[in-house]
Amino acid sequence: YMRVFTDAFYLKTLWITVKTSALAALFTLILGFPVAYLIARMRSQWSMILLAGIVVATFVTIVIKVFGLIIIFSADGLINQALMALHIVDRPYTIIGNQTGVVVGLMHFTLGFGVLLLYSVIQTIPRSLEDAAQIHGASRWRMHLRVLLPLSLPGVTVGSLMMFNMCMGAFTSAALLGGGRVFTLPVLIQRTVMMEIKYSMAGTLAAVLLVTVLLINLLSIYLIRRLKSARLVIA
């Protein structure tokens, strides 16, 4: 444990793991909330069709998802070929082998779960509350900010923490999209076991990962409760 917390390499790996997981959870929430809201407020059968599509995509194995991203975003992938054909870029740009690629992979991994969870929360919020807010002069943006978001905050909190926890323990996305140049704790644990055969160090890293996730979750819950208490006092 002393080595883990005094060696700059291990501390940097821990920081990269937390940072990429937090960014992936944040961007997944930003993308997933509007999608979940649109599906929850649809009045046609399209909502069930879209939900079924999300469920199917969510449970596709992560290896297939990651290789799909590699095909799309690699230097000779579809995106780069299209951009170069349209003369938007003069040389290929790839997100494979850097932290951007890892974040995109983690987002792809957790987006479906986030949408399904947020959908189940938003669906329980009566549409009449949104209509009442707009009738009393609230703009659509203000309605979302002052009515929908506070009511869905418990689901947003749970969804964010769930996505963050999944990202913290994700191995495949970081290993394949990181290209051996981005080390997260799960990747480092696998490398320590398989290549260095240091089981005690791998166990130590796993314990550090577990405790870090637990502490971040407890701190997040504490801060959210403080925020809710402060809002109640102000109200």
CA distances from 51 to 75, 124, 149 (A): 33, 16, 22
HSE of 223 in the Cβ direction (CA atoms, 13 Å)?
Answer: 8
Token pair listed for 155: 């689901």
Residue 79: CATH number of its domain: 1.10.3720.10
With a cut of 80, say whether residue 13 has pLDDT above it: yes
- Provide the domain limits for residue 178: 2-234
232 pLDDT higher than 70: no
The predicted pLDDT at position 12 comes to 93
The confidence score (pLDDT) of residue 187 equals 92
Mean pLDDT of the chain: 86
- The band of 179, judged by pLDDT with boundaries at 50, 70 and 90, is confident
C-alpha count within 13 angstroms, C-beta hemisphere, residue 108:
22
**Tens-place pLDDT, residues 106-159:** 999 999 999 999 998 888 888 888 778 878 777 778 887 888 888 888 888 888
> Would the pLDDT of 196 be above 90?
no
pLDDT of residue 230: 63
Q: Please give the single-letter amino acid code of residue 171.
A: F
| pLDDT single digits (tens) 79-100 | 888 888 888 877 877 778 888 8
Q: Are 201 and 129 in contact (CB under 8 A)?
A: no
> What is the per-residue pLDDT for 124?
86
What does the pLDDT average to over 9-15?
92
**Token pair belonging to 130:** 């949104």
What pTM was computed for the model?
Answer: 0.86
Residue 153's pLDDT is what? 83
* φ, ψ at 179 (rounded to 5°): 60, 25
pLDDT digits (tens, 9 = 90+) for 57-82: 888 888 888 888 888 888 787 888 88
Give residue for tokens 């920081």.
Answer: 15
- When divided into structural domains, the chain yields a total of 1
Mean pLDDT of the region 197-204: 90
pLDDT for the residue 231: 59
